[in-house]
A and B are shown apart, each in its own frame.
Chain A
Amino acid sequence: METLLEMRNIVKRFGNLVANDHIDFEVRRGEIHGLLGENGAGKTTLMNILYGIYQPDEGEIIFEGKKVRFRSPKDAISAGIGMVHQHFMLVPRMNVFQNIVLGYRTPHDPLINQKWVEERVEALSEKYGIDVALYEVIMNLSVGEEQRVEILKALFRDIKLLILDEPTAVLTPQEVDSLFYALKSMTKSGLTIIFITHKLKEALKVTDRITVLRRGKKVGTVKTSETNERELTRMMVGRDIVLDISKPPREFGKEVLRVEDLWVKDERGNYAVKGVSFSIREGEILGIAGVSGNGQRELEEAIAGLRKVEKGRIILDGQDITNKGVMERESIAYIPEDRIGVGLAPSLSVLENLMLKDFKKYRKGFFLDFDEMEKKARELIEEFSVKTPSLHATAGTLSGGNIQRLILARELSRNPRLIIASQPTRGLDVAGIDYVRRRLIDAAMKGAAVLLISEDLDEVFQLADRIAVMYEGEIRGIMDRKGANYEKVGYLMAGGLEVTA
């Protein structure tokens, strides 16, 4: 197969950080080329350079045998490149039709030839099996539908190369399957695809060749048919990672958290938590399994003190903390599902985020002891391997995995009695998942009680000592890890009732 695209010796720096470090990247016509790497490896940066969003500091791009220089996405589009970004680029208040034609010259330009567009979209939808409701406003679409709009938007422009940046991160398993199906049919009609992901299984499933990046450098390119998970993992992380974490057996201490007949409402004023009771002891991990949206968020927020309790009691170390403030909750660490919204202040610096809950400790007269704070923050960053350009970088610019490490650093370093961890590894790469899980077990070993809320059954089974299943606001059975199996838990998650009392 002939070469369609060649990126040579690409370098891109952001301040001191080298996001792309002399990367060579070659794509052949008609293939699905996987671009694999952990969060922060530089995948998006490389593709943003190709799409004209960033200018490389060094290196050159050869597309269809010609040396090109894309000064803006407009140049890339006219060369025949389309990109579906990790964070969708749709105008929420415009409809699908308007988003598709945005910037496109239809016949009779500047008028928009509605019929012509409709026919063209129709033809594309049919050809690739991608359905969209043309006159629905973007705001009302699900993420899966938004993604289909993004893909159509690119195809509408007669492209030769389609870049998909982590397209599966937001999809359900069924949606992933139909996306892969559509991708295959696109390559059949001659399109070339760059598929960015940090998920090994997906890369192995859908690509022809895979290029792996690690920390801004290219590790290598392999043929998908000639590689396996183990090799790819090693290329991605630089060492073997086995997601098998053993928990040493241990004695549980006294009761840390007791929740009695808890009732909590959601935003709309309906009861989302309906009479939940459980307790967790020192050193114990209680896993709450269940499909998201069954009251988990309301439960964790009530315990963390972010949501009002309507009825029932929350007792922490023997003290009733129901509807009490943060002072009474000093010993709770909260690792929320919504990391950017609740977990940190994205516009503040890394330092400020680390010290968010501890400013009081660093008072020096009227002022804050910044030297001392920076010293402590540096230690934390080291200990939790948070990768950041500097202590003063804005926290929101960190990658997902590093944001989670930052939150862990702040929360776990305060020696909590109770840790609430909600979907703690969602969206993280292998190394990140491994790290977070080890940290949680570590904390439990040191005597903290851990409330783990997760949709990922593997995770619950791996970490929890006891497993509770939440369904429609109720706890549908709490069982010992030893007496539990996937079938039983899955049955309860789907709304089944426990047979034996």
Chain B
Amino acid sequence: MDSSNDEALDIIVTNVVATFRTRCHLNLRTIALEGTNVIYKPEVGKVLMKLRKPMITASIWSSGKIICTGATSEDEAKLGARRLARCLQKLGFKVRFSAFKVVNVLAVCSMPFAVHLIDFTKNNRPIASYEPELHPAATYRIKNLKATIQVFSTGSLTVTGPNVQNVATAVEQVYPLLFECQKPLCK
């Protein structure tokens, strides 16, 4: 789907964050004592449960809200969330899997060229911002996609967005802009 050129850019999704609800109160102490692979954090009031198969870590609150992180795809996140809910159900809670929502997707991508960040920022004000003293990357926010892209001078990108589709679209959108500001050319 790279309309700009024929090469394919590898967008690697590194993290998918999702939330869901169990619609019932959860006794964290019971989960902590009986559950397997759990870390109890009473000071914060949550239990971390780690799953191996989809490698995910879930933060479980007593209200029944669960945040599931570490998955590498949206489907995996859902699968992991359901497994988790099943786990809690086995512990004895009347769990109802509801309100599953992927909240955040983090992906990395690498341009085959280096980018001149100052030019890139100049060309794309105010969408792009660059504060080298604060952070070595230029930040490009696409409002309609609600995606944020961080561009590094080496040409590496990290993209965060509400779902994988948005992320892919964001990369495509920003590619031509970056292409203009390639280091060997712009300099």
Instruction: Answer yes or no: do A and B interact.
Output: no
